[in-house]
Amino acid sequence: MSKFKLEEIKDPSFLKYLSVHDLEILASEIRTFLIQSISKTGGHLSSNLGVVELTIALHYVFDSPRDKIFFDVGHQSYTHKILTGRASQFSSLRQYGGLSGFQKRKESVHDVWEAGHSSTALSAAVGMALARDLDGDRYQVIPVIGDAAMVGGESLEALNHLGMTKTKVIVILNDNEMSISKNVGGVSEFLSTLRTSEAYNHAKNEYREVLSHSKSGKRFYAFSSQLKNRMKNHMIDAKLFGEFGVDYLGPIDGHNFHELLRALYKAKYMKGSVVIHIKTKKGKGYPYAENDVRGAWHGVAPFHIRSGKPLHEITGATWSQVIADYLYRIMAEDVNVVAITPAMISGSKLEKIFHDFPNRAFDVGIAEEHAATFAAGLAVAGKKPFLTMYSSFLQRAYDQINHDLARMDLGVVLGIDRAGLVGADGETHHGVFDPGILKPIPNLELFTPATAKEAGWYLKQAFQKENGIHCIRYSKHIACDHLPFTRPTYPGQWQVMTDRHASNLLITYGYMVEEAVAFVETNDLDMDVVNARYLKPLDQPFLKQVLLSHKKLVVYETDLKSCGLAKDILGYANDLNIKVDLLSFGLDDHYVTQGSLKELLHHEHLRFEDILEEVKQFIQ
């Protein structure tokens, strides 16, 4: 029988009256709740199981919302949500109209920051702390950042700024040796050396215990402690954090309340900024997640708790898998092709490539900017890079794509994963901005396949070109493999998918082409469907012919209308001084919420059944 009724928790104040034993019971019950709840809704499992004790300890020592406790990225904030009164909403986690999978300022006064991309927390913390100082206030600012996110350039920039100031921030370094998959890089190795001091810390405790039994022993211990502290400050703090002018505590066992509370109270009463190095076990309490080194249990769909298997088996290959399979075949034939990912091996289905081509597959960690310029360096030296990024993360590498790749006209293939509406992760992850970001860049083409065969053809011919960025964008959904595919005879050529000899055209691209064909044929509309597979360059020969024929055009897209295909077509028609009758469907100028694809399309009035009557009236 549970001791705590999690659904009845209103705020964290009750924690102040609990013993350590009670806190341990609470942690166990929260962990059980998370496993049971996420098994039904899906969500970020491993990261949340790893920070249960840490989150409880933070709310025990500090006073939220006056003290600002927040998480870098935010997908590991589930225990924080429970302790701040939202356990009863977990049945709606990441669902349309439900509880967000990230911290959300609109949800609670305890959510002071929100982000879906990593390495932002330290910058925000420095800003909050300096604003506090300017106001003469005294609350604490406590960002929780993972060891992988600490590698991010923005984190190091913020750490450098923090060391230059006299403000105070308590940085919680959550070290689980994982980001989504296994961490890589020099900072990861540095933290590993700090972890080895656990044996030293254990020996230190025994040493103190032995010498405390006599006066001479106590005096010798005091002298040796001063010497030890000087050595430790020189050998450990100065390695990284000390060089930034920030104190260091740790490493601390992130699942031991005695150690956690001692370290947090010490940091609370220190005058300056401090990094507390907390060691946690990602996935703790659920064996499948604990033993996962590939990142399969990072973000999960609903699953059977006992077997660990998904509740709903996926039928068919996802677009990520299709792209990875074609890339594998190309790499097997061409030793100059290399693959690059910023910490998304599992998400982009690159496991087999990394296993079979270890010397030509590079995981650079959470470092999109570096990944792009690294690809440029490889291209300059004669290699053929395939750089894959999620669309929403690509935003962080705009300058490198523009300045370092396109400006030098280097030959790189850019795989834009998770393009379009992605679903449950919500507004920070929808891939709807990349067309507007990329289309203005010279020496770049943007391809959006409607079928797996189309994707395979494009990848193969893209690697044969010496210059230019060849972007292929694809969704997270199941790939289509049955629509007809005709190879372009010139760069940018679109494909007419139906042969209805209609008076009107429905123009769309990517994963929505399949549904567009079904929409036209099911409703027997006087329309032919055009697969606008090239968003750049436009198929100007085809468009000119269509515009001169004065056919009515319906343009349907699930990206932003403000920088979409319809605007490009209208701009081209204006250049030709041709009036066009065009009806446009797409996303308006706002951020899109979370939910299933069907729910989001309905919310945005973009389901084909929602637009049927409007289309019928338009083409009459």
Helices (H), 42-169: 46-50, 52-61, 78-81, 121-134, 153-164
Check pLDDT > 90 for residue 272. yes
Class assignment of domain 495-619? alpha beta
pLDDT (0 to 100) of residue 210: 52
Q: Cis (ω within 30 of 0) for the bond into 65?
A: yes
How much is the average pLDDT of 276-283?
Answer: 94
Looking at CATH, the fold of the domain delimited by 6-179+244-300 is given as Rossmann fold (3.40.50)
pLDDT (0 to 100) of residue 212: 60
Return the sign of the alpha-carbon dihedral for residues 315, 319, 322, 328. negative
pLDDT (0 to 100) of residue 203: 47
* Stretch(es) of the chain classified as CATH 3.40.50.970: 6-179+244-300, 319-473
pLDDT digits (tens, 9 = 90+) for 389-431: 999 999 999 999 999 999 999 999 999 999 999 988 889 999 9
Instruction: Note if 368 is an active site residue.
Output: yes
DSSP 111-148: -----SSSS-HHHHHHHHHHHHHHTT----EEEEEETT
* CATH classification code of 319-473: 3.40.50.970
Of the pLDDT bands very low, low, confident and very high (cuts 50, 70, 90), residue 2 is confident
Instruction: Note if 396 is an active site residue.
Output: yes
Q: Enumerate long-range contacts of 259-264, CB under 8 Å, 24 or more apart.
A: 260/53, 260/54, 260/57, 261/20, 261/57, 261/60, 261/61, 264/57, 264/58, 264/61, 264/62, 264/170
Residue 613: burial class (beta carbons within 10 Å; 0-12, 13-18, 19+): exposed
pLDDT (0 to 100) of residue 236: 46
What is the widest separation between alpha-carbon atoms in the chain? 101
* Stretch(es) of the chain classified as CATH 3.40.50.920: 495-619
Mean pLDDT, the chain, whole residue set: 90
Is the distance from CB of 54 to CB of 78 less than 8 angstroms? no
pLDDT digits (tens, 9 = 90+) for 40-98: 999 999 999 999 999 999 999 999 999 999 999 888 999 999 999 999 999 999 999 99
Paired residues of 587 in beta bridges: 560
Paired residues of 146 in beta bridges: 174
- What type of residue sits at position 345? I
Q: Which residue has the higher pLDDT, 187 or 149?
A: 149
Of the candidates 177, 368, 445, 454, the residue annotated as catalytic is 368
Of the candidates 282, 284, 476, 552, the residue annotated as catalytic is 282
pLDDT (0 to 100) of residue 189: 55
How much is the average pLDDT of 475-488?
Answer: 93
Of the pLDDT bands very low, low, confident and very high (cuts 50, 70, 90), residue 466 is very high
Of the pLDDT bands very low, low, confident and very high (cuts 50, 70, 90), residue 296 is confident
State how far the Cα of 293 lies from the Cα of 181, in Å rounded to an integer. Answer: 6
Check pLDDT > 70 for residue 355. yes
Lowest-pLDDT choice from 186-190, 478-482, 510-514 = 186-190
How much is the average pLDDT of 549-571?
Answer: 96
State how far the Cα of 541 lies from the Cα of 420, in Å rounded to an integer. Answer: 27
Residue 617 token pair: 């009236």
Q: Across 231-364, where does the E strand assignment appear?
A: 247-253, 274-279, 299-300, 337-341, 361-363
Classify 504 as helix, strand or coil: strand
Of the candidates 168, 284, 396, 453, the residue annotated as catalytic is 396
pLDDT digits (tens, 9 = 90+) for 174-216: 998 754 445 555 555 555 555 444 444 454 455 455 556 556 5
Contacts of 443 (CB under 8 A, 6+ apart): 406, 407, 409, 467, 468, 469
pLDDT (0 to 100) of residue 209: 56
How much is the average pLDDT of 573-590?
Answer: 96
Of the pLDDT bands very low, low, confident and very high (cuts 50, 70, 90), residue 217 is low
